[in-house]
Structure 1
Amino acid sequence: MIQRSAIVPHGMEFIRDDIGYAPGVLSGNTLYIAGQIGRNAKRQLVEEKRQQFIQCFENMKAVLHTAKMDFADVVEITSYHTDMRDLPLYMEVRNLYFAGCLPAWTAIGAASLCGTAGYFLEVKAIAVKSS
């Protein structure tokens, strides 16, 4: 049996309790971060696009910090975009968090996210904790 632990930052308990999954799962020294969206701590969609992108990465940062990791530990990202023309904005925001330590990256176009209008981005990641 694989040993693993759920990573649930303070304020994200509703994801585990109401929706039924963990924002992150730590297995050994590898952290799998579920898709993070631009929803704030009050569970509200951040409507302005750039701020929504920032919120995605702030949510990811909360998962990383709960696992005692940071963005330098992230080795792979997959981003889902409702409009691929947003890639320059996405890269600008991403680079605020990954200064000097860019991970592997795959960008995927998606017709919709969360089944709700207004979400522009979802980002999932894999991080590896250094020994």
Structure 2
Amino acid sequence: MTAKAIIPDDLKSYYDDWHMSPGLACNGFVFFTGFTGTRADGSLSSDPEMQIRDAFDKVQSVLEAGGMGFGHLVEMTSYHVGLRDHLDIFKSVRDSFVVEPYPAWTAIEVAGFVREGAIVEIRVIARAP
């Protein structure tokens, strides 16, 4: 098995500090770390739409660093604190990023995340070009 880390410059701390790859290409697929809406400076918007958008921006950063776009996604799992409170917002933001053919998607309610105040984490799998 040959695996290659995909590490955009804006997510290098994931690799250096947390010892995890933002994306890991393996056997024709790219497996992504789950991303919350925490920004590079450590801040976290109190606005659910901005948090969700910031999380999708991280996914986009890895996709672009790997020469891909949202059309390469095959599976998405989203984890939510207060799933029913912001599901419509999540779907609206997701629709501004995700394109056809739409990936399979599972949404899961969770009790919390490492970063206090985070309401969503997005994890995806993409098919490498």
Same fold (TM over 0.5): yes
For residues 109 and 55 of structure 2, what CA distance do their matches in structure 1 show?
17
RMSD (CA atoms)? 1.1
Residue aligning to 1:92 = 92
Give the share of equivalent positions with the same residue, in percent. Answer: 30
Trace 1:50-129 onto structure 2 (pairs within 5 A). Answer: 50-85=49-84, 86-114=86-114, 116-129=115-128
Query: Post-superposition, which runs of at least 4 consecutive aligned residues in structure 1 deviate over 3 A?
Result: none
Is 1:20 aligned with 2:19? Answer: yes
Superposed CA deviations along residues 82-104 of structure 1, whole A, max 9, x for unmatched, are 01111111111101001333110
Task: State the AA in 2 paired with 1:102.
Answer: Y
For residues 47 and 32 of structure 1, what CA distance do their matches in structure 2 show?
28
For residues 117 and 30 of structure 1, what CA distance do their matches in structure 2 show?
31
For residues 16 and 116 of structure 2, what CA distance do their matches in structure 1 show?
24
Task: State the AA in 1 paired with 2:110.
Answer: A
Unaligned runs of 5+ in 1: none
Unaligned runs of 5+ in 2: none
Q: Report the number of matched residues.
A: 128
For residues 49 and 5 of structure 1, what CA distance do their matches in structure 2 show?
33
Q: Which SS does the other structure have where 1:15 is aligned?
A: helix
For residues 43 and 51 of structure 1, what CA distance do their matches in structure 2 show?
14
**TM superposition shift of 1:28:** 2.8
**TM superposition shift of 1:9:** 0.6
